[in-house]
Amino acid sequence: MSLRINDVAPNFTVDSTAGKITLHDWIGDNYAILFSHPKDFTPVCTTEFGAVAQLAPEFEKRNTKVLGVSVDNVEDHKKWKLDIEKVAGSPANFPIIDDTSLEVSKLYNMLPADAYLPDGRTPADSATVRTVFIIGPDKKIRLTMSYPMSVGRNFAEILRALDAVRATDGVPIATPANWTPGQDVIVALSLNDDQAREKFGEIDIKLPYLRYTKAPAK
């Protein structure tokens, strides 16, 4: 079954480089990013996890935890972290899940189509695609992304998307194309003009259905 926006993120308990983790307990009252990579000791994945390591202070500012997953085991993850840190020049302190059982990969549909063939495939001949799940403090999925194995992710965009998710959570606003923090946001269609002014103050009406306002403080 494919996961949808606003589904509760499937819970799991697994081993990781930080010890045993139960997802919902580990998230606590924070946001979380669960992201998969095909294999340890591979070039694109090393650059991606290096990018995550470099952005660790930014995720921390946003009360967001990050959790990596692949079909490799904990010992391989720990050895690979040394390479990540060498490339990134930053400590890779975030946990990486041991998913040699394929439990998490299958729960979150992280495997490519051919990995589900009934031919007894194991982690030795399976690899997760590059998926991203942003999960809210209520443990619901806020955003998903999937990339093929040949395309490295832009983690600056993932950070921007996280900012947009956090800005709009529980507030009748949306973010326009290419929005970045500090820019105006769009008033939700659930509010009429008077309601929008009452809630947000000044609004800039471009079209009857396209109204901008300053992003409210959160």
Q: For 53-65, how does the pLDDT look when each residue is reduced to its tens digit (9 = 90+)?
A: 999 999 999 999 9
Asked if 130 and 29 sit in the same domain, the reply is: yes
Question: What is the pTM (predicted TM-score) of this model?
Answer: 0.91
Asked if 95 and 201 sit in the same domain, the reply is: no
Asked if 149 and 177 sit in the same domain, the reply is: no
Asked if 45 and 129 sit in the same domain, the reply is: yes
Does 93 score more than 50 pLDDT?
yes
Rounded-to-integer distance, Cα 94 and Cα 148, Å = 23
Crossing angle for the helix pair 74-88 and 43-54, nearest 10 degrees? 70
Range of the domain at 178: 173-213
Rounded-to-integer distance, Cα 108 and Cα 156, Å = 23
Asked if 90 and 138 sit in the same domain, the reply is: yes
Mean pLDDT over residues 128-145, rounded?
94
Residue 3 included in any domain:
no
Residues annotated as catalytic (active site), given as ranges: 45
Asked if 94 and 196 sit in the same domain, the reply is: no
Mean pLDDT over residues 35-59, rounded?
94
Residue 2 included in any domain:
no
Mean pLDDT over residues 209-218, rounded?
93
Asked if 98 and 147 sit in the same domain, the reply is: yes
Asked if 37 and 137 sit in the same domain, the reply is: yes
According to DSSP, the residues that pair with 97 across neighbouring strands are: 16, 69
Total domains present in the chain: 2
Asked if 84 and 181 sit in the same domain, the reply is: no
Percentage of the residues of the chain whose pLDDT score is greater than 90: 80
Residue 165 included in any domain:
no
- Are 33 and 135 contacting, i.e. CB atoms less than 8 angstroms apart? yes
Does 120 score more than 70 pLDDT?
no
Asked if 98 and 136 sit in the same domain, the reply is: yes
Asked if 45 and 87 sit in the same domain, the reply is: yes
Residue 5 included in any domain:
no
Residue 101, CB-side half-sphere exposure with 13 Å CA sphere: 10
Low-confidence winner among 83-87, 147-151, 172-176, 182-186 (lowest mean pLDDT) = 147-151
- pLDDT given for residue 84 in this prediction: 97
